[in-house]
Amino acid sequence: MEGGLLQRLDAAARNLVPLSLALIAVIVGAMPMYMPGYGAIAPNLALIAVVYWAIYRPDLFPAVIAFAVGLVQDAVMGTPLGMNALVLLCAHAVIVSQRRFFQGKSFAVVWWAFSMVAIGAAIFGWALVAAIFAALPSPAPALFGTLLTVALHPFFTWIFARTHHAVLGEPPNVSR
């Protein structure tokens, strides 16, 4: 009986790895870098996490988790509540709907697809800010933030993949 409980606790803890890594990405992305203007161009590390887990473990990272991570990101970053949640929810929906595309593709193709999602997310986020504040903000910070996000994608994907393999085993078939 006790062994069964420990196995269930172990499985539950392992299943929380995607959420935990996404929340860590939010915290790391919100850390001050003590550079003038960095906050406006900070990379969206949560987007990298959402895309990775939506491709490889959507069973452990459903849309509600992407939304929750976005709410935490909004609270930590001081953005209007629900803005990043909506952006991450939409990115999750796009990736999940295209999961079969990623099956058997090289990292370069996945990185290219991520860059397209990152550009779309940045445009959508910029449009939301414009709508919320009824003003057209400069697109430059969104552009630089997107470039940083795309540039950091390989590093964070490597961390997620290593953790995924070590804790959860081989990724399941992408076509599921």
Q: What does the alpha-carbon distance between residue 141 and residue 28 come to, in Å, rounded to a whole number?
A: 19
The three-class DSSP label of residue 139 is coil
Residue 36 lies in a domain: yes
pLDDT of residue 175: 43
Q: Evaluate whether residue 50 is within a structural domain.
A: yes
Q: Is position 26 within any domain?
A: yes
Residue 174 covered by a domain: no
Highest-pLDDT range among 8-12, 136-140, 149-153: 149-153
Question: Looking at residue 38, what is its pLDDT?
Answer: 56
pLDDT at 176: 40
Span 69-97, mean pLDDT? 96
d(CA 26, CA 9): 25
pLDDT > 90: percent of the chain: 77
Give the CATH number, domain containing residue 25.
1.10.1760
Q: Are 55 and 44 in contact (CB under 8 A)?
A: no
Confidence of residue 40 (pLDDT cuts 50, 70, 90): low
Per-residue pLDDT, averaged over 111-134, amounts to: 96
Domain that holds residue 68: 2-168
Which is nearest to 78 in space by CA: 114, 131, 127, 42? Answer: 42
- Mean pLDDT computed over 100-106: 89
Residue 93 clears pLDDT 70, i.e. is over it: yes
How many domains does the chain contain in total? Answer: 1
Q: Which residues, other chains included, contact 55 with Cβ-Cβ below 8 Å and sequence gap of 6+?
A: 95, 99, 102, 110, 174
